[in-house]
């Protein structure tokens, strides 16, 4: 025959109640912090698209497709393995920038948006399967964003 003391059973119920209240308070604090703007420093991600594909052992074709924020994109800088991309058709300038009808640069970007479908043949990509292509967009509000990060 087993005897239990009613007072001992009540202790575990009180501890459980205290723990549940503590968990509820912590969850409420976390939710309140996010809702009340403690994470308000996050910026909106821009929506634009670009692709890159290999056309030969030393050439990669990059294409800008536009997107929801295409009107605010001023310049795209293309790099291959951390070096400025170079091309054969004067689509990219000397520092690897793709721009449409302007004289802008990274520090002074053009206000003319890129055309959807603008292409360039990158010619300094002679390491098939190991070339790291990075496209960084400069937007009219001054933000920079990686548009494409791929190894081809």
pLDDT at 68: 92
The pLDDT of residue 48: 93
User: Which parts of the chain register pLDDT below 50?
Assistant: 100-113
pTM over 0.75: no
pLDDT tens-digit profile of 86-129?
766 556 655 566 654 444 444 444 434 477 887 888 888 888 88
Query: 124 with 60: CB under 8 angstroms?
Result: no
Q: How far apart are CA 69 and CA 63, in angstroms?
A: 16
pLDDT digits (tens, 9 = 90+) for 113-123: 477 887 888 88
Q: How many CB atoms lie within 10 A of CB 73?
A: 25
Which residues are within 8 A (CB) of 114 and not within 5 positions of it... i.e. 6 or more apart? 64, 66, 70, 73, 76, 98, 99, 100
């Amino acid at each position: 025959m087993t005897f239990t003391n009613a007072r001992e059973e009540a202790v575990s119920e009180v501890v459980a109640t205290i723990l549940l209240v503590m968990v509820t308070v912590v969850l409420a604090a976390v939710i309140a912090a996010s809702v009340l703007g403690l994470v308000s420093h996050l910026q909106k991600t821009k929506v634009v698209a670009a692709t890159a594909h290999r056309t030969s052992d030393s050439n990669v074709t990059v294409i800008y497709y536009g997107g929801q924020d295409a009107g605010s994109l001023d310049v795209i800088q293309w790099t291959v393995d951390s070096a400025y991309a170079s091309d054969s058709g004067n689509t990219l300038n000397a520092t690897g920038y793709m721009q449409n009808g302007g004289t802008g640069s990274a520090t002074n970007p053009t206000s003319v948006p890129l055309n959807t479908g603008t292409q360039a043949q990158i010619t300094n990509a002679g390491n098939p399967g190991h070339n790291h292509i990075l496209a960084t967009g400069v937007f009219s509000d001054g933000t920079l964003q990686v548009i494409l990060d791929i190894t081809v």
